[in-house]
Structures are given as C-alpha cells and as structure tokens.
Amino acid sequence: MKKVVAIGGGEISKFETLKIDEEIVKLTGKDNPKALFIPTASGEAEGYCETFDLVYGKTLGCKTDVLFLIKDNLDSSQIEDKILWADLIYVGGGNTKMMMEIWRSKGVDKMLMDAYQRGTVLSGLSAGAICWFKYGFSDSLRFQSGETWNYIKVEGLGLFNAILCPHLDEENRREYFEKFIINFDGIGIGLENGCAIEIIEDTFRIIKSFENAQAYLFKGIKDRVFVKEIRNDHYIPFKLLIDND
C-alpha cells in the first residue's frame, strides 16, 4: 500500500509535529520500525540528525539511520541498501532545489519512487514535503541569493499532480503563492505549519499537530484565484482534490 505524509512545517526539535510524527510511525504497522532520515536539503546539519533520532528514535521507538549523500561518498548500491532497509523515510527541510539536484545526480529520485511502489512510508517537512509532488513553491534561492531572492517553482518526484506550498502561514508566503497560482496550469495545495496531508493509495486526509492549522486548495481561474479550505480528517478520493473545478 502506497503511503505519503507531507508536513507543512513546525519545529520537530520542539515536538511541534509530534502528533503527525506518531501517525507516520503508525502507518508502518510495526512496533519498532526502521526509520531513515535524509537531511540533504539542510546540508546534512549534524544537529538536525540528532533531533531526528531524539524524536523518531528515543521518543517514538524507531531504529534510526541517516542517509548522507554529501558527507559520505556512497556508491549506488550502498545508497539503495539504506533505502531498502527502511520501513519509513523522512526527508528534512532546507534547500529543495539543491536537494533535488543531488538526488537526481545520484539516482536517489528513482530509488525513492521505487520505495513508494513497495509501500515504504514516505514523509517529510517543508522541502521534505515538496519533494513528493510534481512541483513545489520554494524559497530555495534564499539560501544562495542573500537578501534579494524570489520564490521559485521546483520540480519534485511527481508522485502527485499538484504544486505544494509549505509554511503557508509564514511571512507573506500565501500572498506570493496566490499571485503565482493565477498563471499556473494546475492546482496548488498550501499547508500551514502543524498541518500535513496524508495520502494513502488514491485517498487522502488532513492531519494536524496544531488544532488551528489549516490546509487550502488553490486554483487560478480567469485571472482570479479560487481558494478553498481542505477540511476532511477522514479519507476521501485524492481525485476529488486534483479534479476540483
């Protein structure tokens, strides 16, 4: 069974996403699942890896490991072995554009798509949420352009035909996303911090760690933006979201 949980944001180190993290672990169907952390987007920050082990290892009872694609010179079979080992994969936040470039250069994109087909639980926050969708609305240029940067469209793995915007309630992100969507041919999904979309096979629901966190559907129609809150906390067909007119 194919399973993805994409988290809009929240500080994992402060246990702000713990309710969602618990659901991710539960989806494996195992008491002590094997959890693989992929911290590429953060430049493989050491503290981030320690936080993942604190939350998924010490708190939620997983056996944890980390896939280092920058620090370690792993060959294709070594990378694949780590991905095959995992019951769940969690992708950390950071620079989505850089992460996708590194993944594609090492074939990790194809390995993760294979893991999806096998039923490995795929998850992540921010960049780690964007990556499962066809596109992401990303602040990747923030990491290389200093004070002057713009949001960009980054191509993800394309498991779902939509563009995802995480951190919808931060800064002026929603305003910029609405302007972008006017000329975008397709639907947008916006997730606030503490909110996630859980997609199981061809159904989905919204799960939250903050009670007031929201998810929204965006679509450009004749130079205007249609916005609708996505409220369902029970599973409904994902097709209803994608085909929304």
**CA-to-CA dists, residue 191 to 67, 107, 160, 214, angstroms:** 26, 28, 15, 6
64 pLDDT band, cuts 50/70/90, is very high
pLDDT in tens, 74-131: 999 999 999 999 999 999 999 999 999 999 999 999 999 999 999 999 999 999 999 9
Q: What is the pTM of this model?
A: 0.95
Catalytic residue among 42, 126, 138, 140: 126
123, 138, 140, 167: the active-site residue: 167
Tens digit of each residue's pLDDT (9 = 90 or more) over 221-238:
888 999 999 999 999 999
Whether 126 is catalytic: yes
Query: What's the chain's length in residues?
Result: 245
User: Residue 131 corresponds to which amino acid?
Assistant: C
Among candidates 94, 97, 89, which has minimal Cα distance to 66?
Answer: 89
Domain coordinates of the chain in residue numbers?
Answer: 3-242
Cα 125 to Cα 194: distance, rounded to the nearest angstrom: 10
H, E, C per residue of the chain: CCEEEEECCCCHHHCCCHHHHHHHHHCCCCCCCEEEEECHHHCCCHHHHHHHHHHHHHHCCCEEEECCCCCCCCCHHHHHHHHHHCCEEEECCCCHHHHHHHHHHHCHHHHHHHHHHHCCEEEEECHHHHCCEEEEEECHHHHCCCCCCCCEEEECCCCEEEEEECCCCCCCHHHHHHHHHCCCCCEEEEECCCEEEEEECCEEEEEECCCCCCEEEEEEECCEEEEEEECCCCCEECHHHHCCC
Q: Is 76 a catalytic residue?
A: no
Domain 3-242 adopts which CATH fold?
Answer: Rossmann fold (3.40.50)
Higher pLDDT, 241 or 210: 210
166: left (phi over 0), alpha (psi -120 to 50) or beta: beta
Task: Give the pair of three-digit tokens for residue 216.
Answer: 């929204």
Q: Is residue 142 pLDDT above 90, yes or no?
A: no
